Amino acid sequence: MIIGRSGVGESAAAAARPARDHDAGAIAMLWSARSVAVVGASDKAGALGRLPVEHLLRYGYAGEVYPVRPDGAPVAGLPSYQSVQACPPRVELAMIMVGADRVLAAVDDCVAAGVPLAIICSSGFAETGPEGSTRQAEVTARARAGGMRLVGPNCIGSVGVERGLVASFSPLFTGAATALVPGSIGFVSQSGALGYGAVSLAFERGLGLGWVVNTGNEADVTALEVMLQIAQIPDCMGVLGYVERLDDVRTLRRLASAGKPIALLKAGRSSAGQRAAASHTGALATEDRVVDAALRQLGIVRADDVEELLDLGDAFGSTRRPRGRRVAVVTTSGGSGILAADAIDAHGLDLAALSDATRTTLDTIIPAYGATANPVDVTATVMSDPALFDRALDAVIDDDAVDAVIACFCVITATDVARVVDGLGRAANRSGKPVLVARTGADHLAPDAADALRAAGLPTYPTPARAVRALAGLHQVAGVEPRAVAPAVVSAGRPDGGPDDSSEPALKAALAVAGLPVPAGRLASSAADTGRAVDEVGGSAVLKAVVPGLVHKTEAGGVVLGVTTATAGATYERLAALGGGVLVEEMITGGIEALVGIAPSPLGPVLTVGLGGVLTEVLDDVALRLLPTWADDPWLAGAMIDETRLGRLLAAARGTEPYDRPALEAMITTLVIAVRQWPPGFELDLNPVAVLPLGRGVRVLDAAYVPPGER
Amino acid sequence: MIIGRSGVGESAAAAARPARDHDAGAIAMLWSARSVAVVGASDKAGALGRLPVEHLLRYGYAGEVYPVRPDGAPVAGLPSYQSVQACPPRVELAMIMVGADRVLAAVDDCVAAGVPLAIICSSGFAETGPEGSTRQAEVTARARAGGMRLVGPNCIGSVGVERGLVASFSPLFTGAATALVPGSIGFVSQSGALGYGAVSLAFERGLGLGWVVNTGNEADVTALEVMLQIAQIPDCMGVLGYVERLDDVRTLRRLASAGKPIALLKAGRSSAGQRAAASHTGALATEDRVVDAALRQLGIVRADDVEELLDLGDAFGSTRRPRGRRVAVVTTSGGSGILAADAIDAHGLDLAALSDATRTTLDTIIPAYGATANPVDVTATVMSDPALFDRALDAVIDDDAVDAVIACFCVITATDVARVVDGLGRAANRSGKPVLVARTGADHLAPDAADALRAAGLPTYPTPARAVRALAGLHQVAGVEPRAVAPAVVSAGRPDGGPDDSSEPALKAALAVAGLPVPAGRLASSAADTGRAVDEVGGSAVLKAVVPGLVHKTEAGGVVLGVTTATAGATYERLAALGGGVLVEEMITGGIEALVGIAPSPLGPVLTVGLGGVLTEVLDDVALRLLPTWADDPWLAGAMIDETRLGRLLAAARGTEPYDRPALEAMITTLVIAVRQWPPGFELDLNPVAVLPLGRGVRVLDAAYVPPGER
């Protein structure tokens, strides 16, 4: 099983990048700089080089703005400077907006002036082809040599919202009706146009952002790095990211450990999308199911769409978290209640089973045409009576079986707003349980509702399905708190760790040494010795040709089952004629075939468990985990088995006995511990692993190993 | 395999309902009535009985409005009448808004006045429990006896938008800013609150509706019936429906045959949702995957959410349809292009491979930092030059490999709008290919854009994923045109059709008569006869105990494999001791095990094909089709096989030969033809069906049959 394209434990790019904790301050200049130089500033109306200057002035940035242009003429009424070095010290952030051919000189100028961070907005770099890539590498090397961090090139800039630090030429900030909406959520996007489009939608829905950054080509600073810096700001309540590459497992693990809810829209799920991403920013592909597994494992919510990303941002803005997956639905619309129940099921949450006491209480409040079972249809009559509505809400939210509430309304009119918001807000506050609202009705029917709901900490969505999806994300980040970062690699490994060679006997010997159960057996030295070997393993054996480079042994006639002492000699001769040794192993029958593998990926080694044997390719039903797992969140063999149909195959079915699942779990655990001593970057495929009836253990029937660097 | 809860070919409710083509005119009164009586009208501000009168006046209904109240006092300035019979003849539509206990009298009044259709808004019927159900049945019977159709009870009413016929008390129509947005899409909802919430969202986004109906408890008229009537209106361009029950296969098939695009949000996907639906409207459950398969087969788009339903409505509003699944993406945002490519893959569409000629043309237009491969990043520079933008669009849309275009933009500003709309609208019109737009940016940046895009016939969505999802729906309805309705039942069947009894020998005999391949074999009459029978089938046989009521033969020790003439006698004695006969069959080995079954569902007989044997329950991997299939859209055994992993299992894999897929396809076809003569409502399970290596055919190894009415 080959996962991803990289043959090393982490991407070469990530490994080559030095540790940069000391540079954190540089990245923070994106929102905390006290002075900004705009290199390539222009006074011409509408010119890109004028827009950042205008934006900084328009949105109230209180720091210094230094337009830089060769002729020193004023820009937007501000005096300009002929170089960054000529600006009053110290320039804390530079925007470079000159043509690609003049960027190198601008970078030199910034370095000479001691600028800690420059945003290169200019295009004409890696996105244009090999020549541009060379230019980008040159610029990056020059900045690194000078100790300056770079954002971009080919980006639209960044915004420190609280301070009006709009270091961006996005047309969003030119819009007559545009107003910044400050808040505690960070938004980082590798893509510029899409990123600022999403930011405009966030502001439009009232989702306040504190930090907005576009990283473009990511010659130096990456979106993940910026997200990590933002997550470490105490006021930050969550970070949303759009990325096209995901191969920096060190930063990803640090980001997941920062204790803030994180949502990531990783584009390139499909191979078509990955090809598009590769041509867009040269991002290396990471197999999508590895991305899925890694993010889920790290507690990062994966969004599929810009709208979902923003929906999660709305949810992160409230501090209440569900303690479990049991959801109560309160509604005045039976239809909305059913749709919410469907969505709860689809997202792996549970419709809470309300207690008898709760049902009894609700029976005294809710009229016959409502419903006191979950989904609870309180009816419009109850909603219109604050005392009754509060009693119904209290009964539901105080039920110990309820971890969160989805409240669904349709046409809310202006007269409903205060009742709905007061009732829900009070119940949420008092109980500490999250309440998310679906409001399936036009805004104009109650224009104040959106603001009032937001102010009360009630994330609101247009449909039950979207509210439930956001709650599912909230459930995924419910346990997030700062913790130690798990190491990004299994171990340094010993140079001599792992199997000596990839032949089946050597590999099985290494597995046996590691404590893994392999079939009894040995190499036979002659036809006569084969008879003895067959006898040693119980009189019925499998004989296998051991020929270097012969991968598909079975198809080549290199495997013979059910060999007895009588047929041993002749079989030996036939297999030996293939040009190698002959392995004699005990014959194992009657098990369920599993697959256990470890393969490198751009995010590090990935453990795979699933259906093995002939079903491997047909069903492709596997569970994945990044290695190593968190110290405080151990990887569970059982969970992986249950994620696949293996769980059902191993259980006792009608007329069959159960298989030895505990032995399989133990074997997987043993393997994961053993390979810590193996050199990183190897690939190991145990398939099939026969899981025998309960009490009889497992056996690794076949195995393949590819040493590091040989893929 | 048990599908659904009903034991008959169609639901009892649907079967009991008379054919009603002659009532079509009655349902049409919901939008074409020239006079409306409001029974239970009130003059009190805010009273429910006053609202329809106010709404009819406010929205310009030009017909007669007759408030009906016992005291004959004026309502909203209109004279009222003491009964419907007292109104000037002829009342074409009555709204009944009195208390539940007075509804029967109101119905009698309407019948006496010759009203063709009444909407009972009152609640207090089946939704409240058994007593209400009795009341509902009584009211319905009275209306039917009098020849009057009923909408409701427990509903919010309907709207004929074009004529301002707002026969509804929804608060939507009381909203100060509410305006009707007329259009050519119909919207029918079983749920009132959710339905009018959705309508408010449709109007808010500018999606014009022509006909809006809420059917509530559906004592008589169902949402499907109303959708069918709307679909038959020439001006109608598509119908959207929200339903909680789906068991009227006759109307569903007629709706699908009406030649208009249909989208259906069927709530109750999950068992939790189905339980909620059952308690909400007493809807019988139809297993969700039967619903999925049936709608796909009938060419009806299934929406999962209100938002998706409205998105489809936007798409139906343009007449251009994709001729295939190949999509070109044109964008100014690389990120949007990747997300569109991902969505195209997720929805089973294909990213079009542009021709070399197209690429060459685009190379002359698009700068190096754009992309000429699909997704085509034309860049903002090209978009800002109308001549270049048009040339690029023409090159893409005229490519024969392109069936549809998704155009993705982010921050569109007011100055972009005309260029984008003109360019895209012209290209779409000229080519006849659909162009759907993703505009991922705030509305206020170009407030006129939404209307301009809509006016140009360019359905527009906030994200690439939503635009692609709508296009996938459009692809599904692309072939929809009026056609003959397929019959809803397989056939009347002969009372004596089908197997004589359910024993394995009788069943296999019946299958053999029908032309299905069963193993050679016969019942043995004695130990000695068993030896002869084994000899007849080739010397190696399977012996099976034939004991009435013994379902799990294998677990009971009632099946013995590999019986030879030597062991035949003893095996016979052992099996005969179980108390029944002994069947001797040829021993079949080495095949792939498939499952072929037919089971009744609320939507009629459902054909199931998938993995058989031990994998049936573990993998649950089956394809479903309603029987019968369309005459002009034959059900394809091959398509069903390929929908499951059976397709891959039957193909030649590494080191194995292919299996006899043609024989399986022929067997399925033979079965479907044969069972037309069987009585409706039976259940037949052929599992396993051994599919032998190519050229050796298939054999039905085991079979179970449940006659109609015995489930």
pLDDT tens-digit readout, B147-192: 999 999 999 999 999 999 999 999 999 999 999 999 999 999 999 9
Question: For residues A1 and A597, what is the distance between their CA atoms, to the nearest angstrom?
Answer: 7
Minimum mean pLDDT among A12-21, B636-645, B685-694: which range?
A12-21
The whole-number pLDDT of residue B116 equals 97
Tell me which residue of B156, B186, B202, B167 sits closest to B264, measured CA to CA.
B186
Cβ separation A272–B351 shorter than 8 A: yes
Cα torsion B511, B513, B516, B522: sign: positive
Q: Mutation test of the interface with chain A: which of B214, B338, B620, choosing the one with the most A Cβ atoms within 10 A? A: B338
A221 vs chain B: nearest CA distance in angstroms? Answer: 18
Taking CB atoms and an 8 Å cutoff, what residues of chain A touch B437? none
The whole-number pLDDT of residue A279 equals 65
B477 vs chain A: nearest CA distance in angstroms? Answer: 24
| Residues 6+ away with beta carbon under 8 Å from B387 | none
Q: Are A489 and A10 in contact (CB under 8 A)?
A: yes
Which of the given ranges, A491-495, B189-193, B284-288, B603-607, has the highest pLDDT on average? B189-193
Nearest CA in chain B to A175: B445
CB atoms within 10 A of CB A529: 17
Helix/strand/coil for B551: coil
Minimum mean pLDDT among A85-89, A247-251, A479-483, B593-597: which range?
A479-483
Q: Are A694 and A656 in contact (CB under 8 A)?
A: no
The whole-number pLDDT of residue A627 equals 85
A590 vs chain B: nearest CA distance in angstroms? Answer: 14
B175 vs chain A: nearest CA distance in angstroms? Answer: 6
Residue B67, strand partner residues: B38
pLDDT of A299 higher than 80: yes
Helix/strand/coil for B631: coil
The whole-number pLDDT of residue A8 equals 33
Mean pLDDT over all residues of chain B? 89
| Residues 6+ away with beta carbon under 8 Å from B67 | B37, B38, B41, B53, B74, B75, B76, B78, B79, B80, B81
pLDDT of B554 higher than 80: no
Taking CB atoms and an 8 Å cutoff, what residues of chain A touch B279? 371, 373
pLDDT of B514 higher than 90: no
- pLDDT, one tens digit per residue, over B321-365 is 999 999 999 999 999 999 999 999 999 999 999 999 999 999 999
Which of B128, B204, B265 is the closest to A442 by Cβ?
A: B204
Cβ separation B346–A269 shorter than 8 A: yes
A569 vs chain B: nearest CA distance in angstroms? Answer: 26
Question: For residues A106 and A98, what is the distance between their CA atoms, to the nearest angstrom?
Answer: 8
Cβ separation B555–A154 shorter than 8 A: no
pLDDT of A224 higher than 70: yes
Which residue in this structure is represented by tokens 């083509």?
B21
Taking CB atoms and an 8 Å cutoff, what residues of chain B touch A194? 333-336, 339, 410, 440
Helix (H) or strand (E) segment spanning residue A227: helix A223-231
Cβ separation A154–B369 shorter than 8 A: yes
Cβ separation A413–B175 shorter than 8 A: yes
Q: Token pair of B685, please?
A: 């399970």
pLDDT of A17 higher than 50: no
Tell me which residue of A65, A62, A60, A56 sits closest to A84, measured CA to CA.
A65
Nearest CA in chain A to B173: A445
pLDDT of A480 higher than 80: no
CA distances from A347 to A178, A350, A473 (A): 36, 9, 9
| Residues 6+ away with beta carbon under 8 Å from A566 | none
The whole-number pLDDT of residue B680 equals 81
Who has greater pLDDT, A269 or B489? A269
ipTM at complex level: 0.90
The whole-number pLDDT of residue B496 equals 57
Minimum mean pLDDT among A237-251, A549-563, B578-592: which range?
A549-563
| Residues 6+ away with beta carbon under 8 Å from B420 | B383, B407, B409, B412, B437, B449, B453
The whole-number pLDDT of residue A487 equals 56
- pLDDT, one tens digit per residue, over A655-688 is 677 899 989 998 998 888 888 878 888 899 999 9
Which of B190, B465, B619 is the closest to A304 by Cβ?
A: B465
Taking CB atoms and an 8 Å cutoff, what residues of chain B touch A552? 654-655
The whole-number pLDDT of residue A613 equals 80
**Rg (chain A; Cα; Å):** 31
Cβ separation B377–A190 shorter than 8 A: no
pLDDT of B220 higher than 70: yes
Cβ separation B193–A377 shorter than 8 A: no
The pLDDT-based confidence of A628 (bands split at 50, 70, 90) is confident
pLDDT of B241 higher than 90: yes
Which of B200, B339, B617 is the closest to A267 by Cβ?
A: B339
- pLDDT, one tens digit per residue, over A167-221 is 999 999 999 999 999 999 999 999 999 999 999 999 999 999 999 999 999 999 9
Cβ separation B193–A267 shorter than 8 A: no
What is the mean pLDDT of the segment spanning A435-455?
Answer: 94
pLDDT of B528 higher than 70: yes
The whole-number pLDDT of residue A539 equals 87
* Phi/psi at B156 (5° precision): -105, -5
Q: Mutation test of the interface with chain B: which of A199, A338, A369, choosing the one with the most B Cβ atoms within 10 A? A: A338
A193 vs chain B: nearest CA distance in angstroms? Answer: 6
CA distances from B475 to A324, B322, B403, B470 (A): 40, 6, 10, 9
pLDDT of B483 higher than 90: no
pLDDT of B285 higher than 80: no
* Phi/psi at B613 (5° precision): 65, -145
Question: For residues B337 and A280, what is the distance between their CA atoms, to the nearest angstrom?
Answer: 9
What is the mean pLDDT of the segment spanning B689-707?
Answer: 91
Q: Are A413 and B197 in contact (CB under 8 A)?
A: no
Which of A189, A440, A552 is the closest to B201 by Cβ?
A: A440
Minimum mean pLDDT among A90-94, A367-371, B69-73, B697-701: which range?
A367-371
The pLDDT-based confidence of B711 (bands split at 50, 70, 90) is low
Which residue in this structure is represented by tokens 């610029």?
A139
Taking CB atoms and an 8 Å cutoff, what residues of chain B touch A554? 655
Which residue in this structure is represented by tokens 């954002």?
A151
pLDDT of A13 higher than 60: no
Nearest CA in chain A to B465: A305
Q: Is A525 left (phi over 0), alpha (psi -120 to 50) or beta?
A: alpha
B207 vs chain A: nearest CA distance in angstroms? Answer: 13
The pLDDT-based confidence of A336 (bands split at 50, 70, 90) is very high
Cβ separation A175–B444 shorter than 8 A: yes
pTM of the model: 0.91
Cβ separation A172–B441 shorter than 8 A: yes
Who has greater pLDDT, B6 or A213? A213
Cβ separation B338–A273 shorter than 8 A: yes
- pLDDT, one tens digit per residue, over A374-428 is 999 999 889 989 999 999 999 999 999 999 999 999 988 888 888 899 999 999 9
Which of B124, B193, B444 is the closest to A411 by Cβ?
A: B193
- What are the strands, taking DSSP E only, across B113-201? 117-120, 149-151, 157-160, 165-168, 182-189
Which amino acid is located at B605 in the chain? P
Who has greater pLDDT, A260 or A283? A260
Question: For residues A643 and A624, what is the distance between their CA atoms, to the nearest angstrom?
Answer: 9
Q: Mutation test of the interface with chain B: which of A196, A201, A339, A649, choosing the one with the most B Cβ atoms within 10 A? A: A339
Percent of chain B with pLDDT strictly greater than 70: 91
Which of A341, A409, A440 is the closest to B270 by Cβ?
A: A341
Taking CB atoms and an 8 Å cutoff, what residues of chain A touch B377? 280
The whole-number pLDDT of residue A681 equals 86
What is the mean pLDDT of the segment spanning A229-245?
Answer: 96
Question: For residues B312 and B334, what is the distance between their CA atoms, to the nearest angstrom?
Answer: 26
A105 vs chain B: nearest CA distance in angstroms? Answer: 22
The pLDDT-based confidence of B280 (bands split at 50, 70, 90) is low
CA distances from A231 to A4, A91, A260, A306 (A): 28, 25, 6, 20
